[in-house]
Amino acid sequence: MTPVPTSSQDSTVPGGGQAPHGAVTTAAGTPAGVPAGGRRTTAATMDEDMHDDSSAWAAPGPTAVDHRVSGHAQPPAPAVSLRASGASRVADTIFKGVSGATGVLILVVLAAVAGFLVLRAWPALTASPDELAKISWMNGQSLLEYVGPLVFGTLLSAILALGLAVPLSLGIALFITHYAPRRAAQALGYVIDLLAAIPSVVYGLWGALWLAPVLDPIFRWLSDTLGFIPLFAGYTAPARNVLAAATVLAVMIIPIITAVSREVFFQTPVLHEEAALALGATRWETIRMAVLPFGRSGLVSASMLGLGRALGETMAVLMILSPGYLFSFFLLKPGQHQSIAANIAAKFPEASGLSVSVLIATGLALFVITLAVNMVARWIIARRAEFSGAN
C-alpha cells in the first residue's frame, strides 16, 4: 500500500472552535474538508484520522490513480540525527531553571508573608490580659475572644455570598455555553468579564447608596413573613446587615465564578455530550450526565476562587455593614457582624503599638482561613480523582 499523505491531526481537539476538523489533504495539496461551521468540532467530523491504510484518503473518481502516483513523488524524508542539538539542550536547561526558580520564589513569598504575620502578631499573641485591656476597642476581651466573632463574621458573610453566587453563576455559565445563541452568548460573556474589572470601592458605593434602599422592602417582607425563623427576625432599616453585605459580595464574585465555570463547560468533551444526547437525553439531562460531572472539580475551584475573594474583600463590606462583634445568626439585624478585612481597614489608621499587633493577629487568622479553604478545595477535587474526566 502506498503511504498516502493524510494529515494525522489528533481528533481530540478541545472545544476551541477554530480547529479545522481532521481535514484530509489530497495529494494535490488541497484540504478536502471544509472548516467546521459550529463553535465546536463534533464527533461527526472526527473520523477521518486513525486509518493508516490508504482508505482514509478522500479521492474522488477515477483520477485517484494519478493522485497516488504523485504520492510516490514525495521527496524521501531526510535522515534524522538522534542526538539532541546543543541549542535545544541549552534552551531546555534554561527553561527548567526559570520555571524551577519561579516555583521556589512563590514558596519564598508565601513563607515571607506568613513569617511577617507571625512576627508582627507575636506581641499580641504573648501580651498579658492587662496590656490588651488598655486597647479601648477590645473591651477587656482576650485575643481569642476578640478574634472569634471576627472570624465568624468573615466566614458568615463569605459563605452567604457563595450560597447566593454559585447557583446564579452556574446558571449564567450554562446559559452562555449551552442555551444562548452564539451572539448573545458572546455579548453576555463580555459583560460578565467587564463586571470583574469594576473596583470593589465602586461596588461598595453602589451597595450602600443604591442596593440598600432596594433591599429594604425585600428584607422587611422577609422579616415579616419568615420572622418566626430566628435567621430572619428583627430587621431594622437601613439594610446595613450581613445579608446586604453578602449580596454585594455575591455580585462581586459572580463574574469570577461564572468566567471560570464557563471555560470549564466549554471544554466538556463533545464525545461525552454526544454520548448523552444519543441515549435520548434532553438538553438538561445532557448537562447533568456529561457537563456537570466533567466540570465538577473546575466548579469547586471556581467557587473557592470566589470564596477567597469574598473572605478577603474589604471596601465593600466596610462601606455597607454596620459593624458588631457577636456570634449572631440574625442575618437581618444591623450591628451584629464584622469581617476581619473590614475591621483591619477600619481600625488601622488609628492604631499604634500593641493594637497594630492585634490587628495583624486577626490578619494571620484570615491568612490561615484562606489557606485552609484552598486545602479543603484541593482535597475535594482529589477525593474522586479516579472518576474525574482526567483519565
Partner 1 sequence: MSKRIDVENLDVYYGDFLAVEGVSMAIEPRSVTALIGPSGCGKSTFLRTLNRMHEVIPGARVEGRAVMDGQDLYAPEVDPVQVRRQVGMVFQRPNPFPTMSIADNVLAGVRLNNKRISKGDAADTVERSLRGANLWNEVKDRLDKPGSSLSGGQQQRLCIARAIAVEPQVLLMDEPCSALDPISTLAIEDLMSELKNDYTIVIVTHNMQQAARVSDRTAFFNIAGTGQPGKLIEMADTPTMFSSPSVPATEDYISGRFG
* 13 or 276: CB nearest ligand ADP: 13
* SS3 assignment, position 321: coil
Shortest distance (Å) from residue 289 CB to ligand ADP: 22
Q: Determine if 224 is a binding residue for Mg ion (CB under 5 A).
A: no
Q: According to CB under 8 A, which one of 294, 325, 330, 367 is a site residue for partner 1?
A: 294
Q: Determine if 47 is a binding residue for Mg ion (CB under 5 A).
A: yes
What are the residue ranges of helices labelled H in 175-241? 182-196, 200-206, 212-226
Distance CA 375, CA 96 (A): 27
* Nine cell digits for residue 133: 485591656
What are φ and ψ of residue 385, in 5° steps?
Answer: -60, -30
Segment (H or E) for 360: helix 354-383
Shortest distance (Å) from residue 67 CB to partner 1: 8
* Nine cell digits for residue 362: 486577626
Q: According to CB under 8 A, which one of 101, 279, 368, 371 is a site residue for partner 1?
A: 279
* 53 or 386: CB nearest ligand ADP: 53
Within 51-80, the residues that bind partner 1 by CB under 8 A are 51, 53-62, 64-65
Distance CA 389, CA 294 (A): 6
What are the residue ranges of helices labelled H in 52-142? 64-72, 86-126, 129-133
* Nine cell digits for residue 8: 494525522
Shortest distance (Å) from residue 79 CB to Mg ion: 37
Q: Based on C-alpha coordinates, what's the Rg of the chain?
A: 29
Q: Determine if 43 is a binding residue for partner 1 (CB under 8 A).
A: yes
CB contact at 8 A, 162 and 376: no
Shortest distance (Å) from residue 72 CB to ligand ADP: 25
Shortest distance (Å) from residue 36 CB to ligand ADP: 5
* SS3 assignment, position 31: strand
From the list 23-31, 118-126, 239-247, 373-381, the region that binds partner 1 by CB under 8 A is 23-31
User: In terms of Cα–Cα distance, which of 104, 108, 145 is closest to 365?
Assistant: 145
Shortest distance (Å) from residue 44 CB to partner 1: 5
* 55 or 186: CB nearest Mg ion: 55
* 31 or 103: CB nearest partner 1: 31
Q: Determine if 39 is a binding residue for partner 1 (CB under 8 A).
A: yes
Shortest distance (Å) from residue 284 CB to ligand ADP: 23
Q: Determine if 299 is a binding residue for partner 1 (CB under 8 A).
A: no
Within 291-350, the residues that bind Mg ion by CB under 5 A are none
Q: Determine if 17 is a binding residue for partner 1 (CB under 8 A).
A: no
Instruction: Indicate the residue whose CB is closest to Mg ion.
Output: 47
Q: Determine if 389 is a binding residue for partner 1 (CB under 8 A).
A: yes
Distance CA 245, CA 168 (A): 17
Shortest distance (Å) from residue 155 CB to Mg ion: 54
Distance CA 50, CA 6 (A): 10
Cα 278 to Cα 42, 97, 136, 175, 272, distances in angstroms: 13, 49, 69, 21, 10
Distance CA 308, CA 300 (A): 12
Q: Determine if 115 is a binding residue for partner 1 (CB under 8 A).
A: no
Distance CA 330, CA 317 (A): 17
Binding site for ligand ADP (CB under 6 A): 33-34, 36-38, 42, 44-45, 47-48
Q: Determine if 3 is a binding residue for partner 1 (CB under 8 A).
A: no
Binding site for partner 1 (CB under 8 A): 11, 24, 26, 30-34, 37-39, 42-44, 46-48, 50-51, 53-62, 64-65, 182, 269, 271-272, 274-282, 285, 289-290, 293-294, 296, 384, 386-389, 391
